[in-house]
Every structure is written in structure tokens, then in C-alpha cells.
């Protein structure tokens, strides 16, 4: 048969900086030119290149003496520590974060980041199952010191880039907090904690979802009338107070901060978002009863 074997060669004249740009090709980046840091500390050469995108994926590749350290190691730990510290220090000094604000977590700061860390060590020690983890503790110190000094100076000299990085981390923090609230709502036990429902749920007595109905009514006055005329075996009443939040354009943190919406999530029992499971519905029929006005 015809020989179809071939060789692909990847060469980046601009080194890891050009490699980062290649990895982000086709994505929307927060700033055009990747940040590049090159320094030497105690005989260890350190190179770092990073760039942020508007996405949520974090890509972090590390190399030691040109060997791809898939399992990370001390140089990766040093980079993560320095990045978190420097960004938080800059955020507070530039007043993007107030004195009362907590620091951003490393995970939030790294969201949307593409970075490559490369070190040249005179005596590298590789660990792990496949020997792709750098074990030299001095590599951690070298990357931390070399990167933090240069990166701190870069942020002070490029405040627009610094602000974008901090604001990206703030967005990640808000999304993470909203997701945590969602998990708290969806992971409640099937046995409903009525005390936590300010909507004053009047539950039905049957545990069979197929015959259970939930009437969502507007206000306590309507709820009182509905309770008097219901069948206790199959019909539950949940009064909702006030004009409920329009969730179509609301952020996740605003949605989950709304007590009435959280009451609905908990009453229905199906979960929310990625954890939604219709098979866990406590009622197979929902009836919405509202007034014929703007609030309704």
C-alpha cells in the first residue's frame, strides 16, 4: 500500500510567548500581547508567558529542562502562589478591591488563563509515576521570586491590563459563589425543610408525586383562600410574595439571592441548572394562580 506516514514539526520562533498566542488562537483575549517574564534566580532560569481569554478554561503547561512536566511540581506551585499573591496585592493597592474585601482565590484568578512555565535547573529531580513531576524545592522559590518581582512591576506599568485580570477574577468569584448557592439549594434532602420556606408552604399529605399538585398563588391572602378549598391529600399551596424577579436577564447571584425563587427550587425538589433532575419532582402538576394585573 502507499506510504502515508508523515512528520509534523512545530516551531515557535518567539518561544513560549508565541506558543501561548498559538494556544489562544481563535479565542477572544483580554489583551493582545501575552505577558512574558524571563529571569534567573540562584542559577535557575525561569520563563513564564501568560494571557487571558474571555472563556472559563484554565490551561497551565509546565516544562523543566525542556521536558513537559505533565504532573506539575514545585515550579508550578511557585507560579500559582506568586500569581495569587501579586494579583491580590495589586488589586488592593489600586483600590479595585477595598480594604474590607477578601482576597480572590487562586482558582478564581486563574480562570480563563493560558500560561506556560519553563525552568532550566542544573540538577533536576523528577518524581511521580512517569517521572514528569519536578521535585526540586528550590525551583518553587526561584519561580515565585523571579515571576513575582517582574510581574508586579508589569502590572503597575500596565494598569489597564492589571484591571482586566482582577475584574476577570471577580467575575469568576461571583460565578463560583452563585454556583455554591445553587448546590446548596439542589442538594437539600427530599424531606422538605418547611421552616426554611418563607412562602409558608402548605404541603399535601401524599408522598406520591404522580397525584400531587402544587398551586403557586400570589400572596398570603390568596394562599389562605386556596388552603380552605384544597384537597389536603393531593394539593399543596405555596404563596409567593410581591413581584417576583424576572430571571431572563438576571445574573445567577441575583437569582439565587431571591428568597422566593429559592423557595420554589426547594419546594419542587428537582434541583437546578446542571443538577436538574425531573425524576425528583415532588409534584407532577404545577398550577400558577395569579391576579389579572401587572404583578400577576
218 is catalytic: yes
d(CA 191, CA 119): 55
In the set 47, 213, 218, 260, the catalytic residue is 218
Q: What is the rounded CA–CA span in Å between residue 227 and residue 285? A: 17
Active site residue 111: no
> What is the number of alpha carbons within 13 Å of residue 96 lying toward its C-beta?
22
CA 63 – CA 109 distance, rounded (Å)? 22
DSSP-derived 3-state class of residue 231:
coil
C-alpha distances (whole Å) from 172 to each of 42, 49, 101, 243, 244 are 36, 21, 15, 29, 26
Length of the chain, in residues: 296
Map residue 110 onto helix, strand or coil.
Answer: helix
Active site residue 101: no
> Which residue, among 203, 236, 208, 237, has the nearest Cα to 222 in the 3D structure?
237
Active site includes 291? Answer: yes
Q: Which residues are catalytic?
A: 218, 291, 293, 295
Amino acid at each position: 500500500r502507499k506510504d502515508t506516514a508523515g512528520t509534523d514539526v512545530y516551531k515557535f520562533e518567539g518561544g513560549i510567548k508565541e506558543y501561548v498566542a498559538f494556544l489562544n488562537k481563535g479565542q477572544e483575549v483580554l489583551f493582545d500581547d501575552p505577558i512574558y517574564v524571563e529571569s534567573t534566580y540562584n542559577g535557575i532560569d525561569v520563563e513564564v508567558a501568560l494571557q487571558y481569554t474571555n472563556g472559563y478554561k484554565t490551561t497551565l503547561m509546565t516544562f523543566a529542562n525542556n521536558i513537559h512536566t505533565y504532573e506539575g511540581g514545585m515550579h508550578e506551585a511557585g507560579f500559582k502562589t506568586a500569581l495569587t499573591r501579586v494579583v491580590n496585592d495589586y488589586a488592593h493597592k489600586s483600590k479595585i478591591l477595598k480594604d474590607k474585601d477578601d482576597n480572590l482565590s487562586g482558582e478564581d484568578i486563574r480562570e480563563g488563563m493560558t500560561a506556560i512555565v519553563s525552568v532550566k535547573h542544573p540538577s533536576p529531580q523528577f518524581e511521580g509515576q512517569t517521572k514528569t513531576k519536578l521535585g526540586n524545592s528550590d525551583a518553587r522559590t526561584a519561580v515565585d521570586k523571579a515571576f513575582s518581582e517582574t510581574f508586579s512591576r508589569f502590572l503597575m506599568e500596565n494598569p489597564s491590563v492589571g484591571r482586566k485580570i482582577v475584574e476577570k477574577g471577580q467575575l469568576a468569584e461571583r460565578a463560583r459563589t452563585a454556583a455554591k448557592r445553587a448546590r446548596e439549594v439542589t442538594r437539600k434532602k427530599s424531606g422538605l425543610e418547611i421552616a426554611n420556606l418563607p412562602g409558608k408552604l402548605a404541603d399535601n399529605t401524599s408522598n406520591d408525586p404522580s397525584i400531587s399538585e402544587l398551586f403557586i398563588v400570589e400572596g398570603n391572602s390568596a394562599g389562605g383562600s386556596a388552603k380552605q378549598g384544597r384537597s389536603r391529600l393531593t394539593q399543596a399551596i405555596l404563596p409567593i410574595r410581591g413581584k417576583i424577579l424576572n430571571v431572563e436577564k438576571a445574573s445567577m447571584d441575583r437569582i439565587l439571592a431571591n428568597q422566593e425563587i429559592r423557595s420554589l427550587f426547594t419546594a419542587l425538589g428537582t434541583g437546578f441548572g446542571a443538577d436538574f433532575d425531573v425524576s425528583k419532582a415532588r409534584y407532577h402538576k404545577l398550577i400558577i394562580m395569579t391576579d389579572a394585573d401587572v404583578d400577576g
